[in-house]
Amino acid sequence: MDPIRTPGLPFLKMHGAGNDFVVIDSRRSAGRAVTAELARAVADRHCGVGFDQLAEIRDDPHADYQLVFWNSDGTEAGACGNASRCVAALMMEALGRDEVRFATRRGLLRAVRAEGQVWVNMGAPQLGWAEVPLAHATDTDRLPLEGAPAAVGMGNPHAVFFVDDAEAVPLTTRGPQVEHDPLFPQRTNVEFANLTGPDRLRMRVWERGTGVTLACGSGACATAVAAHRRGLTGRRVTLDLDGGTLVVDWREDGVWMTGPVARVFDGVLSPAWLAP
């Protein structure tokens, strides 16, 4: 996390189970904060860097740091589990600690190093219709949509479908249809999952504001919660996604999630590229 002593804006490229991120430390960028315009430009996989989400590190008076998450379309995301783990791994190394606390739109979250991996507590699931949020009161365990998905809030909304075969779902068709359904006033992330063994699920995801991604940490948490509430699994669930495997453990103090973390490369956005 040492600043790169080159003119421009330093960044890191990371991924967790194929869910890829650009990380920008705004604490060291001469006051330059990420904007929607900058996020969209960096997200361009041809003319920028490319990412599923951008994680911006900011100072916070009540935590080790603050995280702001940006989707590739320039909208803010309320939560991002895999990016939270990736940045937590960086910050633990920088601070020489095995635990960090960080502020998000979701509230104050905690990450720890345990079992040889970085675990993040994504907080308690939001299970009431107004918390998700939905447009009107309805049973969040079985929404009045084709396929009767469950709705779970994890700081961002999720619609979780349990299907016979997640591989067979036309994700690029069904995903945006559900994302923009009027039942979801803030749009929604969409997950499709099927049981493959005791406490094990195959899951695929469409993320609002981004599209198909290889993994989604908050989506894995929402899917594990919904699966347990449906009686399909216990509270500790292994989820196999397109980009790798995540483990979710719904405990009394919140929904914990872990999986692989990779720091791919460090780079600098050039002053010429950043210029209007």
Calculate ∠ Cα 237-243-246, nearest 5°. 20
Assigned token pair, 155? 């700081």
Active site residues: 80, 216
Take residue 85 and report the two structure tokens written for it: 């783990």
Which pLDDT belongs to residue 275?
Answer: 87
Please tell me the predicted confidence (pLDDT) of residue 155: 94
Half-sphere exposure of 100 (CA within 13 A, CB side): 25
Q: What is the largest CA-CA distance in the chain?
A: 55
pLDDT, one tens digit for every residue, the chain (276 residues): 444 456 889 999 999 999 999 999 998 665 568 999 999 999 999 999 999 999 999 999 999 999 999 999 999 988 899 999 999 999 999 999 999 999 999 899 999 999 899 999 999 999 999 999 999 999 999 999 999 999 999 999 999 999 999 999 999 999 999 999 999 999 999 999 999 999 999 999 999 999 999 999 999 999 999 999 999 999 999 999 999 999 999 999 999 999 999 999 999 999 999 987
Question: What are the residue ranges of helices labelled H in the chain?
Answer: 36-43, 81-95, 171-179, 217-229, 271-274
Beta bridge partners of 237: 248
Bond preceding residue 133 cis, omega within 30 of 0: yes
Place of tokens 């779902």: 169
Q: What is the reported pLDDT for 5?
A: 56
